[in-house]
Amino acid sequence: MVSWNTRELLAQCLRSLHPEVDAGRASVWVVDNASSDGSAAMVREQAPWATLVEPGENLGFGAAVDLVAARTESLWLAPANADVALAPGALATLLEAGAHPRTGVVAPRLVLPEGRTQHSVYPFPTLAFTIAFNLGLTTVRRRFGDRLCLEGHWNPERARTVAWAIGAFLLIRRSAFEAVGGFDAQQWMYAEDLDIGWRLADLGYLTRYEPTAVVRHDESAAAGPAFGPDKVARFTAATYAVIARRRGRGRAWLTGLANCLGAAARVVLLTPSAGRRPGRRAARDAARMWLRAHRRGLRMLARRGA
C-alpha cells in the first residue's frame, strides 16, 4: 500500500488484509510517503506483521511500488492505494482469475462507499478512439459501448479482458511487471496505471476484470484533499504525458485537440435546451468542465515539456 495522510482508511485496509497474511497468501508492505497524520506510527502499533517503509519524502505512487518490488520476490505484486479494503475471498479469487500465463494484470470490482460499482476499466486513449468517441460513434450500438467498457454503457457484472484498469488495487504478475520495467517514476501521480497497462499490452499481456472479487474503495481519499478542484486537470495532463511518451508528442496534442473540439461542440449543441431540460443542463455543465480540464491539461503538459 502507498500511504499519504489516510491514517484511518489505511488501518481499515490493513485489517482487511490481516486474514490473507494469516492464511499465507500475502505479505504486506506499506510505503508511507511522509504522512503527517501519524499513519506510520499506527502501522507500527496496530500492524506489526506488516513491513513499513518510510522514504522520508513523497515518492508518488509508482516509485513507491517499485521500491517494494525491488525488495521482494513474490510471483505476484498487488499495488494498492491506502483507501481500499478487500472483501473476504477477493484475493484468492483474483489469483485464480490470473491463472493463464498471458494474464499480466487482474483487476477487481471496485465498490464505492454508497454501494455503487465504480467505473474502473477503460479503452486506451488512442487518437482513433478519441475521434470516434467525440463524434459519438462509440455508443451507436449498445454492444459496442459495452465492449469498449465506456462509462454508462458497460456491464460491470461480466468478467472479461479489458484494455486497462485503474490502479486503486491491482494484481500484477511479477514477470510481466519486470518485463516492462515496473512503474514509470515520471508518472508521479495519476495515469501510472494507464501507462503500465499500455506497456504490458504492447508486450502481449492481458488485463482481466474479475467482478466477483470485490474491493471497497473510498475514491480520492488522498488526492481529493491534496489537489481539490485541480484533480481532473492534473489527471488529464498526466494522461497526455503518457500519450506523449508512448505514442509521441504530436499524437498527444492531436488527441487533446480532438477532446477540446468535442467538448466545445457538446457545449454549443446542449446550451439552447439547457434552460428547459435539467438533464441537458447537467450534460452541458459536464462538457464545460471537461473542456476546461482538457485545455488546462494541455497547458500543464506544455509546461512539463513532456
pLDDT in tens, 175-206: 999 999 999 988 888 899 999 999 999 999 99
Write the DSSP assignment of 157-169 as a string of letters. TS-EEESEE-TTB
- Which residues, including other chains, have CB under 8 Å from residue 108's CB and lie 6 or more apart? 90, 93, 94, 169, 210, 211, 213, 214, 215
Query: Which of 17-26, 32-41, 229-238 is predicted with the least confidence, judged by mean pLDDT?
Result: 229-238
Taken in order 132, 136, 140, 141, the sign of the CA dihedral is positive
Question: Which pLDDT score is estimated for 306?
Answer: 46
Q: Where are the domains of the chain?
A: 2-119+156-221, 228-304
Any idea of the CA torsion for 177, 151, 138, 204, to the nearest 10 degrees? Answer: 10
Question: Which pLDDT score is estimated for 220?
Answer: 62
Contact 116, 110 (CB under 8 A): no
Q: State the Cα–Cα distance between residues 91 and 215, nearest whole angstrom.
A: 9
pTM equals 0.91
Contact 288, 274 (CB under 8 A): no
243: Cα separation from own chain's centroid: 16
Domain 2-119+156-221 has CATH 3.90.550.10: yes
pLDDT over threshold 70, residue 222? no
3-state SS, one letter per residue, for 5-33: CCHHHHHHHHHHHHHHHHCCCCCCEEEEC
